[in-house]
Chains A and B, each alone.
Chain A
Amino acid sequence: MAYAVLQKGRFDDFIVALAAQRKVMAPVSKGYGHFEFEEVRSATEIALRYIPTILPPKKYFMPQRETILQYTSDSIEAVVDFDPMAIFGVHTCDLAGIQCLNMVFSERPKDYNYLVRKNNIIIIGLECGDYCDQYASCAMMNSEMPNGGYDLFVTEFDEYLLFHVSTQTGEDIVKSTGLFETADASHKSRLAEYRKKKKSIFKKELPIDSKDIALLFDKCFESKVWDELNDRCLACGNCNNVCPTCYCFDVIDEPALDLTSGVRYRRWDSCQLETFARVAGGANFRENRGARQRHRYYRKFSYPVKKFFRYFCTGCGRCSRACMANIRLKDVLMDLIKAHPLDNA
């Protein structure tokens, strides 16, 4: 386990040096207590303390709108656009989100657009020593601690940033910038202390064991909880669009003004939208908003467990923050827990 120390006074030099090598994306304040990953050139632009950004860093792996093909009247060509970059400041919940997407897009047939982009992104994680806010459920979802999926991982202390170096790429960055000191035993013991304190802060947020959530979902498909959501949900799709693990997209052809050439692009889609399960002839397989909410929850806590052996919720809380109808993931889960007690509970 290699660690490196960056004195805070050198943080700006680090970002400037990194930005000289490639684009650097980092959380930036957007006002009203919200943040978004954007390109930065210096450390002053970066919010080191931030609640999960409006959109997750997913947008760099799988852009909101992405051209996948271009055509003329006599040619068709696949397009893979990518921009080498480093994303600085990815919280552990979002690292978990990227791990979920990696599994999805590595399945056959592989998604080359995603994988090429992923191979050109350097990830620098950032630890949370305390909860971002009351919507988080990262402890319950086991994503509050670093668990791989990064090149470098930063833990902030008063005077310095401690970097865990996890990959060769990470090591190259540390070496090439020439700004780091090697960590000694005192740094490591401070990290151990920090993690100990952190364990006392982060406790599973709801009275259910992580492994039992899937069992709960085996029993609550017909729950009244979904009916109540039908009345409240506005089907705006925000909860999908901000989620780090939602990966559905729609594919659209767009002709140019000459009407013979054009592009095919894909754009994020959301299962909460009226149109998502509407098919030719006008039938809609999930016309009821409650059924669509149920689908979303099953896509987090049940179906992926069967397919990928992990939950597709990182506990980041974005869906709760983005819902103007005040539908909060923790509340919904709590309602389900109460309405459908597990035998062993």
Chain B
Amino acid sequence: MARPKVAFFDFSCCEGCQLQIANFGEPLLDILKLIEVVEFREVMSEKYAGTLDVAIIEGSINTTHAIERIKGIRDRSKVLIAMGSCATIGGVNGIKNAFPLNDIAEYVYGGDSEYFESIQTMSVHQVVKVDYFVHGCPIYPPEFVAVLKAVLMAVPYDVPDYPVCVECKLNGNVCMYDRGVTCLGPVTRAGCNAWCIGNGNICYGCRGMVSNPNEKGSIDVIRRYGLSMEHIINKLEMYNKCRELNPHG
């Protein structure tokens, strides 16, 4: 059986998720036995303009040109995967949406801002249909592999719709709230095996929120730690600002 043709494309992002894949090490060789990578700017110069079995999209959409480009990719791809927070939820690029577009353009481009078009940041599924999501900033490699297996077997991949706390507790970690710091684990969807907490850091919410977060309850909890309301909202919005725009695509 011919290996499915797979291409990686990047939009507004840091390319850190592509780097994660390039850094997979040995498992990458096993993966390459299953797929044929025809375009992947991070590691190869070839381009591919034909029909794709799988398009893997990194980055969020924030220019009209990007909208046209992602629609074109969608049209020639049988399966489309959004990879990394920028693509799946808008991610940190969404912070832009908290400010008037003109102010932001001027802040970034100064006097030249009139030459650069700026539209609100959108995640990929807010523009085209997305078949699979690999959340995270950056993606968690084992989950990427799990999603790829689901794609190749043509079965759905269920992104966990329960919080990071579940994986955190199953790993027996001391809770950050017991270390006197706040953590977004309770409202953030799992799937990263509580990666940050396992490495001594708090959860920043990079995988996006669970479908039905108790936002009021979370704010009450965080507020007990003496944080200002503004700081709490900033915390919740660092990755999740794009939620306000049409969250279900």
Contacts and interface: CB of A to CB of B under 8 A. Distances in A.
Contacts of A236: 163, 165-166, 185-186
Interface of B is mostly: helix
A231 B216 contact: yes
Contacts of A274: 161-162, 210-212
A237 B178 contact: no
B153 A259 contact: yes
B142 to A, nearest CB: 11
Interface residues of A, number: 38
B152 A273 contact: no
Interface in B224-241: 224
A339 to B, nearest CB: 21
A64 B217 CA distance: 28
Contacts of A325: 217, 220-221
Contacts of B166: 236-237, 241, 270, 273
Given A32-B179, A231-B217, A257 B162 contact: no
B145 interface: yes
Contacts of B210: 235, 274
A322 B169 contact: yes
B149 A259 contact: yes
Contact of A54 (B31, B165, B174, B216): B174
B170 interface: yes
A275 B149 CA distance: 23
A277 to B, nearest CB: 12
Contacts of A267: 170
Contacts of A65: 170
Interface string A212-240: 00000000000000000001111111100
B92 interface: no
B187 A34 contact: no
Contacts of A255: 149, 153
Given A55-B172, A257-B30, A257-B31, A237 B217 contact: no
B33 to A, nearest CB: 8
Interface in B162-199: 162-163, 165-166, 169-175, 177-179, 183, 185-187
A36 interface: yes
B63 interface: no
A273 B170 contact: no
B34 interface: yes
Contacts of B216: 231
A244 B239 CA distance: 35
Given A234-B214, A257-B34, A257-B145, A54 B161 contact: no
B211 A237 contact: no
Interface of A: 30-34, 36, 54-55, 59, 64-65, 231-238, 241-242, 254-255, 257, 259, 267-268, 270, 273-275, 287, 289, 321-322, 324-326
19 contacts: A30-B172, A36-B172, A54-B169, A54-B174, A55-B169, A232-B220, A233-B217, A234-B213, A236-B166, A237-B165, A255-B153, A257-B31, A257-B34, A257-B145, A259-B152, A270-B166, A273-B166, A326-B221, A326-B224
Q: Which A-B residue pairs are the 5 nearest by beta carbons?
A: A236-B165, A241-B169, A234-B186, A273-B162, A324-B177
